[in-house]
Amino acid sequence: MYSLRESFKGLFRPQAVVSSSSSPTTIMSPSHSMSSLAVRAHEMLDSILGAQETSSTTVADNQARDLCHFYCNLIPEDKAVFLKTLAHDYGVDHNIILQIAQNLSMAQERGEGVLLKTEERLKHALVPKYNLVFTQIGHLNDGVKFLVDMRADILHLLNTTCHSTDQDNPYLKSLINHLRDLIAIWFSVGFMTLERVTWESACDVLQKISEYEAVHPIRNWTDLKRRVGPYRRCYVFTHHSMPREPVVVLHTALTDEISNSIQSIVSHPGLEQESSVNGARKEDPNSVNTAIFYSITSTQKGLQGIELGNYLIKRVVQELQSEFSQIQQFASLSPIPGFREWLLLEMNRYLHAEAAGEYPEQKLFTGRELQEIADNVGDTRDKSTIETIMKLIKTNNWAQSEFLPDLLKEPLMRLCARYLYVEKRRGFAFNPVANFHLRNGAVMWRLNWLADTTTRGLSASCGMMINYCYFLEKTEENSKVYMEKHHIEASPQILELVKANVGIETKSHL
């Protein structure tokens, strides 16, 4: 991903930052004290706010441009000082808010006209001063990109200080929330442009597609060409304020069945029924009846928490339906990040409970499974067998064994179904990918064994992947039931696997 400085290369005038008094000032370096940096930040922020009230838009734009230049040239530690200064000193005036709030009851007695004016004053007082700065920066070319990257900086700062007693954290959280609300308006789906990326697309766009791919890394240009070639579709959302910059990327495979392995998609050119013209592969539309969404990536960390991926899927469904009217099935082939970590934690908890003389009602492995594994690894004690399984899973060595994949398939599939279907956070699916698709109205359809045998796949989910199916006539209903009642619509395969875990009750409307 491009850095803040790179994203603004060529935007600013090649001169020192100019203060509100027009005296030349050098860019802050690590040798400047924290207090002098904060003072300089105050000067620049005040000049923007002052220019908005008294000067032309050109002056205000120049002041905003200088501020961006100033910020982009700060080292990370100084950026943190700048952001804390912005959050703490350019928020709202709490005394004014309290005073106006106290006047509301008296204003009501004086009639609706006075009440409405008082409410307007309160609304104005609740707008932080930094919102005015953000709005001014948003007027610049690449200004929106700057704010998105700044929000990524704030997220990083909060993540590094989340366990500290830093008194600035509440102010930073308020800052990032206000910036999120502003960016969410600018990145409303109505302002997004849907584009298809092909091998004929601009080289820099293809390069970004390759660099941004976070789910299944693209190895080389041949791999990239396959992913945007026949029987493949790559769609992106772009924004007019960030030209040639993919904001969300969705990779789709066109197939004749719901795929059960990522290897069949990223390592295979596509359907076998293709024809060729002058040696070039050509799609046979009649052989396509299924669209598989196998990778969706949000490329901008600063857009975290802003819903765009679900809208991209909906738009792509419409595009594919117009291109292939015969497509009947829409499904994902999704990773299961976090399953292996969760499993190892559960196994460790089980061992500690057993050592303390406690025996959980819901066991992880049956006695038969432990005995079969022990017989094959030369260990007959339950506790030692579980420890051995933990070691094998941690190192991924089991995947290279001739017999362990078959022995582990039943228990790991069962436990993965429990992780996906049963484990919850605030009533919703604990797994973030599951929660994303279920919120969109998909059905938890099929768990696939050894669907991703790469090191990444084994380390994330012991090689398993899952299909979420989108039955278009039911997505709205499924989404509503999930959001309101926390009910997960699942297929018989998933429910049978869940039932195999002792003490779990399931039901489905399928």
Q: How confident is the model at residue 25 (pLDDT cuts 50, 70, 90)?
A: very low
Q: How far apart are alpha carbons 70 and 447 in whole angstroms? A: 51
* Sheet of strand 329-332: strand arrangement: 192-197, 232-239, 248-255, 290-298, 329-332, 465-470, 443-448
For position 208, which CATH number holds?
3.40.630.150
User: What pLDDT does residue 411 have?
Assistant: 96
- 393 part of a folded domain: yes
C-alpha span between 428 and 461 (Å, rounded)? 20
| Residues sharing a CB contact under 8 Å with residue 468, sequence separation 6 or more, in sequence order | 331, 332, 334, 434, 437, 438, 442, 443, 444, 445
Give me the pLDDT at residue 109, please: 77
Q: Which residues are catalytic?
A: 334, 437
Three-state DSSP class for residue 320:
helix
Q: Which domain holds residue 231?
A: 190-272+285-332
For residue 289, the 8-state DSSP code is -
Same domain, 256 and 370: no
User: How many structural domains are present in the chain?
Assistant: 3
In this prediction, residues 332-361 reach a mean pLDDT of 90
Percent of the chain with pLDDT over 90: 72
Q: Tokens 């000032």 label which residue?
A: 25
pLDDT value for 42: 94
**Domain presence at residue 372:** yes
Q: Are residues 344 and 460 in the same domain?
A: yes
* 257 pLDDT more than 50: yes
End residue of a domain, out of 137, 163, 186:
186
> What confidence tier does 348 reach under pLDDT thresholds 50, 70, 90?
very high
Average pLDDT over residues 3-28: 35
Q: Which two tokens stand for residue 187?
A: 């990145």
Residues 266 and 147 in one domain: no
Across the range 80-101, mean pLDDT stands at 94
**Averaged pLDDT for residues 22-31:** 36
Pairing of strands 329-332, 465-470: antiparallel
The rounded distance, in Å, linking the Cα atoms of 459 and 454 is: 8
Residue at 119 is within a domain: no
Strands (E), 405-448: 424-425, 428-429, 443-448
Where is mean pLDDT largest: 111-115, 305-309, 366-370?
Answer: 305-309
92 touches 127 (CB < 8 A): yes
Angle, CA of 428, 437 and 205, to the nearest 5°:
130
Residue 352, in any domain of the structure? yes
> pLDDT tens across 448-490, in order?
999 999 999 999 999 999 999 999 999 999 999 999 999 999 9
The torsion angle over the Cα atoms of residues 158, 160, 166 and 172, rounded to 10 degrees, is: -10
**Residue 308 to residues 150, 197, 248, 296, 426: CA-CA distances in angstroms?**
19, 18, 7, 11, 22
pLDDT at 165: 62
Name which residue leads in pLDDT, 53 or 365: 365
| Residues forming beta bridges with residue 248, ordered by sequence position | 237, 298
| pLDDT at residue 362, as a whole number | 74
Contact assessment for residue 134 and residue 181, using Cβ atoms and an 8 Å cutoff = no
Do 310 and 238 have their domain in common?
A: yes
Length of the chain in terms of residues written: 510
Highest-pLDDT range among 18-22, 304-308, 461-465: 461-465
CATH code at position 143? 1.20.140.90
pLDDT of residue 239: 96
Does 467 share its domain with 423? yes
**Which percentage of the chain shows pLDDT scores above 70?**
87
Q: For the chain, what is the total number of helices (H) and then of strands (E)?
A: 21, 13
- pLDDT score of 156 more than 80: yes
Confidence band of 56 (pLDDT split at 50, 70, 90): confident
Higher pLDDT, 202 or 270: 202
Q: Which of 223-232, 268-277, 407-416 has the lowest mean pLDDT?
A: 268-277
- One domain, residues 489 and 349: yes
Report the pLDDT value the prediction gives residue 506, as an integer from 0 to 100: 52
The predicted structure's pLDDT at residue 490: 98
13 burial type by CB count under 10 A (0-12 exposed, 13-18 middle, 19+ buried):
exposed
Residue 461 CB burial class (10 angstroms; 0-12, 13-18, ≥19): buried
- Mean pLDDT of all residues in 50-62: 85
The predicted structure's pLDDT at residue 107: 81
Q: What is the mean pLDDT of residues 135-159?
A: 95
More confident residue, 290 or 24: 290
Q: In the Cβ-directed half-sphere of 476, how many Cα atoms lie within 13 Å?
A: 1
pLDDT of 355-377, one tens digit each?
888 877 678 998 889 889 988 88
The answer on 464 and 386 residing in a single domain is yes
pLDDT confidence of residue 280: 60
Inside any domain, residue 116: no
* Average pLDDT taken over every residue of the chain: 87
DSSP, residue by residue, 79-109: HHHHHHHHHHHSS--HHHHHHHHHHHHHHHH
Give yes or no: residues 313 and 361 share one domain: no
With b for 16 or more beta-carbon neighbours within 10 A and e for fewer, the 122-146 pattern comes to: beebeebbbbbbbebbbebebbbbb
Q: How far apart are CA 455 and CA 30, in angstroms?
A: 41
What average pLDDT does this structure show over 381-397? Answer: 84
pLDDT at 15 over 60: no
Q: pLDDT tens, 118-129?
A: 999 999 999 999
* Domain identity same for 161 and 23: yes
Residue 147 lies in a domain: yes
73 is written with which tokens?
Answer: 């040239």
Contact call for residues 494 and 510 (beta carbons, < 8 A): no
Confidence at residue 262, expressed as pLDDT on a 0 to 100 scale: 97
Kindly state the tokens that stand for 303: 């857009």
Looking at the predicted structure, is the pLDDT value of residue 19 above 50? Answer: no
Q: Are 155 and 49 part of one and the same domain?
A: yes
C-beta of residue 235 within 8 angstroms of C-beta of residue 194: yes
- Residue 281 reports pLDDT greater than 70: no
Q: For residue 29, is it within any domain?
A: yes
Report residue 135 as tokens. 């709005």
Q: Is residue 435 part of a domain?
A: yes
The residue-averaged pLDDT of 154-167 equals: 81
Q: Which residue has the tokens 């943190």?
A: 80
Residues 378, 440: one domain? yes
Q: Is the pLDDT of residue 21 over 50?
A: no
- CB-based contact 448:467 (threshold 8 Å): yes
* pLDDT at residue 346 is higher than 50: yes
Question: Are 476 and 385 in the same domain?
Answer: yes
